[in-house]
C-alpha cells in the first residue's frame, strides 16, 4: 500500500474511532463537545474547507457515512441484555430509543450552541457548513447504531460483518425500514450502488437542510438543534419498529429491497 493510501486508511480509522465514541449511551456534555470538535477538525483535514459550500459538505457526508458505518458499534442481543438486565422486547427497544434520542439531542446542543456562538464573532458563518456536516454525521452514526440494535431486538439481526452488513445498515437507516433477510441480493457481492447512494444523499440532504435552520443568535441554535434531533431520531425509530414488527409477524407490506435485488 502507498504512503498516501496508508494515511487515508489511518484517517478513516481515526474518524471511525471518533464517531464510535460519539455513539456511546452516556457521554458528559464536555466530552461530547470535545469529540464533536475533533470530528470537525477531521472533517477539515479530509477536504471540507471553511467556505460556505453545502454541496461539498453533502458529498463529504455521503462518503463519510459510508466509510464510518463499519465502525459503528452495534451490540448484539446478548450484549444488550447484559447492558440492560431485566429488559426484553418492547421495553428494551424503548430504552434504546430513549438513549439514542438523548444522544442525538446532546449532539445538537453541542453543535447548535457552537453554531450560535459563531454569529457573534468573526468570521461568522465561515465554518458553519463544516460544523453542521460533522454534527449531521455524528447524529447519523448514533441512529445507525440504533437501527442495527433494533434489528437485534426484533429478531432480524443484520449480516455479521463486512460489506453486506454496511450496506444493510446504511440502507435500513436511509429508507427507515427494516432489512428483510430473505431479500435476494444481500450477499458478499453487494455494493453501495447508485440507487442506494442516491437514497442516502437525499436523506442526508434533508437532515443537513434541517440543521441549517438551527443557526441563530443568542444560543437559540442549541435548543432548536437539540429538539429537532431528538424528534427526528424518535420518528426514525417509530417507523423502523413498525416495519420490524410487521416482518416478525410475517405480515405483508412494502419493503425496500437492497441493491442487486
Residue range 152-171, pLDDT digits in tens = 999 999 887 677 888 888 88
What is the mean predicted confidence (pLDDT) over 79-94?
A: 96
Residue 114 pLDDT? 54
Instruction: State the residue for C-alpha cell 447492558.
Output: 83
The reply to whether 259 falls in a domain is no
Q: What is the pTM of this model?
A: 0.78
Grid coordinates of 164:
453486506
Q: What is the torsional sign of CA 188, 193, 198, 201?
A: positive
Q: Cα(36)–Cα(138) distance, rounded to whole angstroms?
A: 8
Neighbours of 36 (CB within 10 A): 22
Secondary structure class of 121 (helix, strand, coil):
coil
The reply to whether 187 falls in a domain is yes
What is the mean predicted confidence (pLDDT) over 28-41?
A: 84
Longest dimension (CA), the chain: 57
Q: Cα(147)–Cα(179) distance, rounded to whole angstroms?
A: 10
Measure Cα distances from 141 to 16, 169, 173, 181, 261 in Å: 10, 10, 10, 22, 26
Q: What is the DSSP letter of 76?
A: -
- Lowest mean pLDDT segment, chosen from 7-11, 90-94, 161-165, 207-211: 7-11
pLDDT surpasses 90 at 130: no
Q: What is the DSSP letter of 124?
A: G
> How many residues in total does the chain contain?
261
Highest mean pLDDT among 64-73, 83-92, 133-142: 83-92
The reply to whether 105 falls in a domain is yes
- Lowest mean pLDDT segment, chosen from 21-30, 54-63, 123-132: 123-132
Residue range 237-261, pLDDT digits in tens = 999 999 999 888 765 544 433 333 2
Residue 152 pLDDT? 95
Neighbours of 78 (CB within 10 A): 9
What's the mean per-residue pLDDT of the chain? 74
The reply to whether 257 falls in a domain is no
Grid coordinates of 180:
428483510
Residue 6 pLDDT? 46
**Nearest C-alpha neighbor of 175 from the set 101, 256, 243:** 256
Q: How far from chain centre, in Å, is Cα 16?
A: 12
End-to-end CA distance of the chain: 34
Q: What is the DSSP letter of 190?
A: -
Residue 122 pLDDT? 40
User: Residue 86 — very low, low, confident or very high, per pLDDT cuts 50/70/90?
Assistant: very high
pLDDT surpasses 50 at 27: yes
Q: Cα(32)–Cα(20) distance, rounded to whole angstroms?
A: 12
Q: Which domain holds residue 129?
A: 3-249
The reply to whether 258 falls in a domain is no
Domain count along the chain: 1
The reply to whether 76 falls in a domain is yes
The better pLDDT of the pair 56, 164 is held by 164
The reply to whether 121 falls in a domain is yes
Grid coordinates of 138:
455524528
* Cis status, amide bond into 261, omega within 30 of 0: no
The reply to whether 13 falls in a domain is yes
Residue range 189-227, pLDDT digits in tens = 334 555 666 777 777 777 666 655 555 444 445 677 788
What is the mean predicted confidence (pLDDT) over 140-157?
A: 94
pLDDT surpasses 70 at 174: yes
Residue 181 pLDDT? 46
Q: What is the DSSP letter of 122?
A: T
Q: Cα(259)–Cα(185) distance, rounded to whole angstroms?
A: 6
Amino acid at each position: 500500500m502507498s504512503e498516501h493510501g496508508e494515511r487515508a486508511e489511518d484517517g478513516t480509522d481515526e474518524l471511525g474511532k471518533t464517531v464510535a465514541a460519539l455513539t456511546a449511551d452516556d457521554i458528559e456534555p464536555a466530552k461530547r463537545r470535545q469529540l464533536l470538535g475533533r470530528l470537525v477538525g477531521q472533517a477539515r483535514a479530509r477536504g471540507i474547507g471553511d467556505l460556505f459550500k453545502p454541496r461539498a459538505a453533502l458529498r463529504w457526508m455521503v462518503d463519510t457515512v459510508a466509510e464510518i458505518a463499519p465502525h459503528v458499534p452495534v451490540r448484539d442481543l446478548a450484549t444488550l441484555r447484559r447492558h440492560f438486565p431485566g429488559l426484553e422486547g418492547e421495553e428494551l427497544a424503548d430504552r434504546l430509543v430513549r438513549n439514542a434520542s438523548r444522544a442525538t439531542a446532546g449532539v445538537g446542543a453541542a453543535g447548535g450552541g457552537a453554531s450560535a456562538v459563531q454569529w457573534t464573532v468573526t468570521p461568522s458563518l465561515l465554518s458553519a457548513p463544516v460544523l453542521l456536516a460533522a454534527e449531521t454525521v455524528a447524529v447519523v452514526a448514533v441512529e445507525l447504531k440504533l437501527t442495527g440494535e433494533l434489528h437485534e431486538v426484533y429478531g432480524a439481526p443484520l449480516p455479521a460483518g463486512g460489506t453486506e452488513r454496511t450496506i444493510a445498515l446504511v440502507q435500513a437507516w436511509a429508507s427507515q425500514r427494516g432489512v428483510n433477510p430473505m431479500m435476494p441480493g444481500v450477499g458478499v457481492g453487494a455494493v453501495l450502488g447508485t440507487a442506494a447512494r442516491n437514497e442516502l444523499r437525499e436523506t442526508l440532504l434533508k437532515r443537513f437542510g434541517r440543521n441549517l435552520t438551527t443557526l441563530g443568535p443568542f444560543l437559540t441554535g442549541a435548543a432548536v438543534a437539540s429538539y429537532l434531533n431528538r424528534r427526528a431520531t424518535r420518528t426514525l425509530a417509530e417507523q423502523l419498529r413498525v416495519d420490524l414488527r410487521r416482518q416478525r409477524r410475517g405480515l405483508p407490506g412494502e419493503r425496500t429491497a437492497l441493491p442487486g435485488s
